[in-house]
Amino acid sequence: MSADTAGIDTLRLTAEEAAGLLERGEVSSAELVAAYRAAIEARDPELHAYLHVTDDEHAGDGGGVPIALKDVITTKGVPTTAGSRILEGYVPVFDSTVAARCKEAGLPLLGKTNLDEFAMGSSTENSGFGPTRNPWDTTRVPGGSSGGSAAVVAAGLAPWSLGTDTGGSVKQPASLCGVVGLRPTWGTVSRYGIVAFASSLDQVGPLAKTVRDCARLYGITAGRDACDSTTVELPAPVELPEREDLRGLRVGVPRELNEVDGIEPGVRERVQEAIRLAEELGAEVGETTLPRSVEYGLACYYLVAPAEASANLARYDGVRYGHRADLNGDGDLTALYERTRWEGFGAEPKRRIMLGTYALSAGYYDAYYGQAQKVRTVIKQEFAAAFEDFDVLLSPTSPTVAFPLGDKVENPLAMYLTDVLTIPPNMAGLPGLSIPCGLSEGLPVGLQILGPQFSENTLFAVGHALERALGFDFVPPRLAA
């Protein structure tokens, strides 16, 4: 089944290897693009990981390794829908900063990947344009919200991609699809041109087959941007990891992140094995605790994120762009707003807009949004205390492996709980890397590696050493030729 154009095996080729082929003149960028397009044509009808595949004019001919972008990342001249019917047909007139940086680095754009509508969800089933399927098992979800960006990497439909992570939307699908995903420190990657969900949490992150590929893509996209006043200059340049041991590293295992209800036994075993492996590679491993972060993190997130979302999604009003309800000349301004938003938004954005509007309402603000911000401070302090004793913390990324499509669609709370391990560090603005650490029931398990702010180089070093030692085969067996 492997698509094979000019001898390029897109299922196995890493971005670093592709860059090597280009440097040595063994293939051209156009040949790479053609190989991935052939793979897309062969396998995407089944997976539905792309919402839009570019033509030559819009791919650009930068001469580099091609990339796929999550469809919340604004691309000039290329439709950007955020997975929502309300933005169907919207074609941006400007590039997001990350899209511009990819262009400057010469990365041709393969297309835009599927996602949960406005990045709200953990399975990509909330897409307004139909779900994406997991390349390891097409009866299962790829995770979300960056499910499309994870699936295209796992299925060889792009060598690397960018997703966005608010509550775990890069790390969790990376885990469920057996690829590497980084959620960077909030403020290191520009959000200019990222369709906003929850501004104080949204962050663009790379997905790839290897840690080194993630580090490379992070290096291309990160750094201060004059168009996003919340960004900062990186304190140190991004380093491509090389070390294969973990000597001198202090690894903390937060009890609650490893023992919370709902972690599948197979997931727990793979993660425990990975922790033992870290010890074998020379790390000092100790136990730590984050009691309040795990107990209150999810509740706190589901006040802060919907509150910000309720404001961020107010601009979709049918006045300037996107869907506008046809009132047939019957109805006033309020009717235009109500009908447009009723028709354009799916169930999950509607649910979160209502939650967030409620949490910000007069008389409820202090009890909900105000209180959540205080809890957020407590979570930050708890993580800061843990990082006084440890360089990194380890846990599962997702409590479960990929679950069947439809399993949690009728139960939003069960869906929300799939992010219980990724949300607490996100609330603290911390970076996290998910790497595959083995299989459970034939499906990938993700290891979450957390560090303090701006510790991306440490995360890459740890991830790289473990990746080498684990020797995980990232090609889904059902696709391997």
Partner 1 sequence: MPLDPTRWEPVIGLEIHVQLKTKTKMFCRCENVWGEAPNTRTCPVCLAHPGTLPVPNRQAIEWAIRLGLALDCEIAPRSLFHRKNYFYPDLPKGYQISQYDSPIATRGRFSVPGPDGDREMGIVRAHLEEDAAKTIHVGGEGGRIHGAGASLVDFNRGGTPLVEIVTEPDVRSAEEARRFLGLLRQTVVELGISDAEMEKGSLRCDANVSVRETGETGYRTKTELKNMNSFKFVADGIDAELARQVELYEDGGEVVQETLHFDPRSGRISPLRSKEQAHDYRYFPEPDLVPVEPSPELVGRLRDELPELPAARIRRLEEEIGFDLALGLVTSGRDELFARVPGDDRRATANVLMNQLAGAGVDPARVNADELAKLIAARDAIPRAAFDEALAASGDEGFTAERYLAEAAITDEGEIDAVIDRILAANEGQVQAYRSGKEGLLGFFVGQVMRETQGKANPKVVNERLRERLRA
Give me the residues that bind partner 1 (CB under 8 A), please.
72, 74, 80, 82, 87, 90, 92-94, 96, 191-196, 198-200, 226-230, 307-308, 310-311, 313-315, 317, 319-321, 333-334, 337, 357, 360-362, 365, 369
Query: Smallest gap, in angstroms, from Cβ of residue 364 to partner 1?
Result: 10
Least Cα distance to 241 among 186, 188, 182, 190 occurs for: 182
First to last CA, the chain: 6
Structure tokens at 265: 């036994």
Task: Identify whether 175 is a catalytic site residue.
Answer: no
CA–CA gap between residue 26 and residue 20 (Å, rounded):
8
Measured from the CB atom, the residue of 261 and 366 that comes closer to partner 1 is 366
CA–CA gap between residue 77 and residue 94 (Å, rounded):
8
Least Cα distance to 117 among 83, 145, 167 occurs for: 83
CA–CA gap between residue 70 and residue 80 (Å, rounded):
9
Measured from the CB atom, the residue of 236 and 333 that comes closer to partner 1 is 333
Residue given tokens 């041991």 in the structure block: 245
Measured from the CB atom, the residue of 112 and 209 that comes closer to partner 1 is 112
Q: What's at 29, amino acid-wise?
A: S
Query: Smallest gap, in angstroms, from Cβ of residue 15 to partner 1?
Result: 25
Instruction: Select which of 29, 123, 127, 145 is catalytic.
Output: 145
Asked whether the beta carbons of 424 and 205 are under 8 A apart, the reply is: no
Query: Smallest gap, in angstroms, from Cβ of residue 100 to partner 1?
Result: 12
Query: Smallest gap, in angstroms, from Cβ of residue 97 to partner 1?
Result: 9
Measured from the CB atom, the residue of 12 and 351 that comes closer to partner 1 is 351
Query: Smallest gap, in angstroms, from Cβ of residue 290 to partner 1?
Result: 24
Reduced to 3 states (helix: H, G, I; strand: E, B; else coil), residue 357 is: helix
CA–CA gap between residue 293 and residue 381 (Å, rounded):
10
Measured from the CB atom, the residue of 328 and 334 that comes closer to partner 1 is 334
Q: Which residues pair with 109 in a beta bridge?
A: 67
Residues in the chain, total: 481
Q: Give the relative orientation of helices 456-470 and 211-221 as an angle to the nearest 10 degrees.
A: 160
Report in angstroms the alpha-carbon separations of 260 from 26, 315, 322, 420: 50, 38, 42, 9
Query: Smallest gap, in angstroms, from Cβ of residue 61 to partner 1?
Result: 25
Instruction: Select which of 29, 70, 84, 161 is catalytic.
Output: 70
Task: Identify whether 70 is a catalytic site residue.
Answer: yes
Measured from the CB atom, the residue of 53 and 198 that comes closer to partner 1 is 198
Instruction: Select which of 146, 149, 169, 310 is catalytic.
Output: 169
Measured from the CB atom, the residue of 82 and 445 that comes closer to partner 1 is 82
Helix count and strand count (H, E) for the chain? 16, 13
Using left for φ > 0, alpha for ψ between -120 and 50, and beta otherwise, residue 48 falls in: left
Q: Which residues pair with 194 in a beta bridge?
A: 73
Query: Smallest gap, in angstroms, from Cβ of residue 428 to partner 1?
Result: 15
Task: Identify whether 171 is a catalytic site residue.
Answer: no
CB atoms within 10 A of CB 247: 10
CA–CA gap between residue 337 and residue 396 (Å, rounded):
43
Query: Smallest gap, in angstroms, from Cβ of residue 193 to partner 1?
Result: 4
Q: Which residues pair with 311 in a beta bridge?
A: none
Q: Which residues are catalytic?
A: 70, 145, 169
